[in-house]
Amino acid sequence: MTVEIFADPDELARAAAIHIGAWLRADGNHTLGLAGGSTPQLTYEYLQSEDVPWDRTHTWLTDERHVPLDHPDSNGGMVLEFLISHIPVRFHPVQHHEDPEVSAAEYEKTLSGMWDEVGSRGRTGMMLLGLGDDGHTASLFPGTAALDESERNYVANWVEQHSTWRLTATPALLASGDQLLFLVTGEAKAAVVAEILESDSQHPAGQVTRSAADVIWMLDQAAASRLSQP
């Protein structure tokens, strides 16, 4: 695991875009899992101008809300607005169905077909992730059933604390990523960041971090402010 600290969200977003661009230029797999949230949004704005073989790159969503793509809360809608509509990239959105289980199962097949198309040979590329102040990442919330899923790659996850369905990559899929890139900003995340990075935390993001082979945490100074050794 690597931890990188930046002065502010803008500096972090610029650095993340450069890092993602370099990865996609060098990596023959050319798949990128995209996250929702304000920090990835700024990263996507900078990523538009990176020199990337977009026409050979496939993008997908590490999680999505159970809403149509044109809904204001849709992660896919945000990604379309701030990245996909500006570059010639292949984007695989989650198709909305009334039954969230149908949406998740269909997307799982979509992702399998995507990796077959790029000839990934079992590799699943780079995945971007955020962090909630409760320690969740993607839509793996504390105490939810998806955390115990070991066979599926993408599932519908009922989140009781928000009384809603989420659609999410499972711990097994995230653990298979060639590189996980956490993008975290703001003092509100500082306490949980310290718990995850400096203890044997049971937060979902901590579990994902420990299970993956290559993880980079990019933090701004506010998010890193509770670390004992910044």
Beta strand 58-61 with 90-92: parallel, antiparallel or unpaired? parallel
pLDDT of res. 229 = 75
| pLDDT band of 120, cuts 50, 70, 90 | confident
pLDDT of residue 18: 98
CB 214 within 8 A of CB 208: no
Q: Which of 67, 25, 73 is nearest to 47 (CA)?
A: 25
Average pLDDT, the chain: 96
Burial class (CB in 10 A: 0-12, 13-18, 19+), 77: buried
Antiparallel, parallel or unpaired: β 2-6 and 215-220: parallel
List pLDDT tens digits, range 131-185: 999 999 999 999 999 999 999 999 999 999 999 999 999 999 999 999 999 999 9
- Look at residue 212 in the predicted model and tell me its pLDDT: 96
What is the tens place of the pLDDT at every residue in 5-34?
Answer: 999 999 999 999 999 999 999 977 789 999
pLDDT above 90: residue 76:
yes
Q: Give domain 2-175+199-220's CATH number out of 3.60.21.70, 3.30.950.10, 2.70.170.10, 3.40.50.1360.
A: 3.40.50.1360
Euclidean distance between CA atoms 94 and 75, whole angstroms = 10
State whether residue 203 is helix, strand or coil. coil
* pLDDT tens digits, 189-210: 999 999 999 998 899 999 999 9
* Cβ partners under 8 Å of residue 37, min gap 6: 130, 183
**HEC-encoded secondary structure of 119-140:** CCCCCCCEEEECCCCCCCECCE
- The domains of the chain are located at 2-175+199-220
* Predicted pLDDT at 230: 61
Tell me the mean pLDDT in the region 68-90.
97
